[in-house]
Structure 1
């Protein structure tokens, strides 16, 4: 850990000079430069820790149709505010006021986020490149240092006895060995750190019944731009999310492995599927969807990892607990992991070297104990929603509509059911304390 004055260090992409093998020494090596990894780097450097962050992909993350989390829950906004990031991105964020569900052409649920008694009560849409740039910029002015290697691919772990002591990474200019007291796998649902560390051995992947075809379409002219929409029709359902660029992101659910059959029917079949859910979206697809290359397939599954850590290594975000895209929980749990983990790690690293290893192992166990219940509740809510969406028998679909209408008629029940997703860990007394606070997001 270092004591340099804030502003002396930068958090910009770098690479080792020359060729061959280079060595770096640091407190924490973060593998993965998504929201969770970047937020952790910021939180650690604020506490005076040195960080090396490795990102596999090139910086141009915002191109192409691939799925990237842009939905930030109200609790995610609260976490960004605590990190000092929210003020830097709020003008680029798009506030969402409502969540509505239509089933068989009729609205059965209409949630108004302003009804929740919290200061940070609205979800927002925020382009991931904007969020990542803000996190990186703010990280550069902290007491600790942050060195970024990008692109860099982890090809192995450094091990001494039972403990992971860093990583070996491949870069365009050669191999880099990063030695660290702690290695963090923030490298997503297909985590290399999870696999290389052995933490994947007892992990259980649960495939869901559906995959999702993602696309961006022109926003229908007569739609409210501040609403999340779920549309259900028979065996089909889809998500319609406003984007900061003025388009609508569409997640069309299809049977597991059903992409080949869908593509066999051509784009006309895709347009027809969208038309069953929302005629306005079908019209947008006819003008804005010119080929299958304008779509991306997201394989839907959840991953339950019994142990998130081992000596010298820990997993966060999707690497530790892959979730489905329902209710947009991936980014938010990654941010929460980062904020929870950083002070525990910083405190352990500040201990005498003779006890630092044991202190760090204990800190990682505390981290999982604190965070796992929130992840478990979100996963359970997502799985219930997935099952609800896929009901097709007449009696079952009638029951689904009745349940949604019951939820719609009771503000207290809505808060109870949705709070674990949008306001995890918030206490009723905290809600009362914040009830009179102004809305946190200026409409944009």
Structure 2
């Protein structure tokens, strides 16, 4: 089967979904491809900051997202020896210290607004395998597999919004520079106790960051930094002393941790790295979000930077400008801001332990 579109967006994460809506609203013919069979199946960042919130509100999308369920963080606490020794509350004008938005809620809230547009198509369970390139070296579309069948999509512009292991980036031979940060991350999710307040809680264990993020639906997301590459060796050690470090810092979680984190298998390992591309696209291709600048989980900047990318790129594209679009204009708009965020992440990682130097005894 063959399709034609002004723009083919690969990856229905936050950046791809938002860009698809904004371009379809402008009247461009948009095809959005997602390799998973349902929206929100790939784990991505789920915390909005003020910048991401502002993007959604500027496009009158925030209320739709909120209707599916969000949770505003009411405080940030630093813990030592089982007690909070420092608490930070939000600025009254902001009203939160971050907003938890489940990935599926965010995507549904955005894409439900595309229903009135006959010029928008979303194809799930569709994996891009190859780029179509003409004799002049200009990329003209993609070949993909949908439900076992090969399809072809011709488009004037291909958007790579397909994450940190981007197929579009790889197939277009765009170089990426990766940087390790000295740690990996263990994720786990547990039910929150009934009296648990919407909050972010931080602790320091063996000079590594331990973070708890309250989530929609009465859950807590645990993010536990460990030494880079140490998990294979860590798994050979006894599990109980390791997990007791968590319950010592947060005694209120003892029962739910004991019930829901019983072995190393209850953790998911995230290989932590940041990356950036010196080239954000080429003839007929643009990269955005994690495909062009992967961020670490520190500070929850990735989701918000991706939304900002989509917002800026959409401002440059319409029916009249599509043929003359220059990816360097987009790169110049966003490059400095992204460099500043990546630098801020490194600073936060290097100075995290300083929050505990003068902790209360």
TM-score normalised by L of structure 1: 0.75
* 8 A Cα contact 2:204 2:356, kept in partner: no
Q: Distance in 2 between matches of 1:69 and 1:218?
A: 19
Q: Structure 1 residue 183 and structure 2 residue 139: aligned?
A: no
How much does 1:107 deviate?
4.9
Match of 1:81 in 2: 57
Q: Is the 8 A contact 1:388 1:400 kept in 2?
A: no
Where 1:264 maps in the other structure, the secondary structure is coil
Query: Could you list the runs of 5+ residues in structure 2 that have no partner in the other structure?
Result: none
Shift, 1:246, TM fit: 0.4
Per the alignment, residue 129 of structure 1 pairs with 104
Distance 1:163 1:246, change over 3 A: same
TM-aligned CA deviation for residue 153 of structure 1:
0.9
CA deviation profile, 1:374-424 (whole Å, cap 9, x unmatched): 2111111111111224x6xxxxx5x8636x99xxxxxxxxxxxxxxxxxxx
Q: How do 1:78-157 residues align onto structure 2 when only pairs under 5 Å count?
A: 78-91=54-67, 92-102=69-79, 107=84, 109-115=86-92, 117=93, 122-142=97-117, 145-157=119-131
Give 1:96 deviation, angstroms.
1.1
Query: Structure 1 pair 93/220, CA: closer, same or farther in 2 (3 Å)?
Result: same
Q: Distance in 1 between matches of 2:247 and 2:183?
A: 19
Paired residue secondary structure (1:184): strand
Asked whether the 8 Å contact 1:243–1:249 carries over to 2, the reply is yes
Aligned counterparts of 2:260 and 2:96: Cα–Cα separation in 1: 33
Alignment partners' CA distance in 1, 2:85 and 2:156 = 52
Distance 2:296 2:248 in 1: 23
Cα distance change on mapping 1:67 and 1:258 into 2, 3 Å: farther
C-alpha separation in 2, matches of 1:226 and 1:123: 10
1:221-232 aligned at under 5 Å gives the runs: 221=194, 223=196, 225-232=197-204
Alignment of 1:320-359 (within 5 A): 320-346=292-318, 349-351=319-321, 357=323, 359=324
Moved over 6 A (4+): none
Counterpart secondary structure, 1:239? strand
User: Structure 2 vs 1, CA of residues 319 and 186 (structure 1 numbering), >3 Å: closer, same or farther?
Assistant: same
Bigger mean CA deviation after superposition, 366-375 or 182-191 = 366-375
Q: Which residue of 2 aligns with 1:378?
A: 341
Contact 2:131 2:143 in 1 (8 A): yes
- Per the alignment, residue 206 of structure 1 pairs with 179
Unaligned 5+ segments in structure 1 are 1-21, 392-396, 406-444
The answer to whether the 8 A contact 2:76-2:97 is kept is no
Q: TM-score, normalised by structure 2?
A: 0.91
Q: Tell me what 1:317 maps to.
A: 289
Alpha-carbon distance in structure 2 between the residues aligned to 1:146 and 1:192:
22
CA RMSD of aligned residues (A): 2.3
How far the C-alpha of 1:39 sits from its partner, in A, is 0.6
Aligned counterparts of 1:28 and 1:326: Cα–Cα separation in 2: 32
Q: How many residues align?
A: 358
Structure 1 equivalent of residue 207 of structure 2: 235
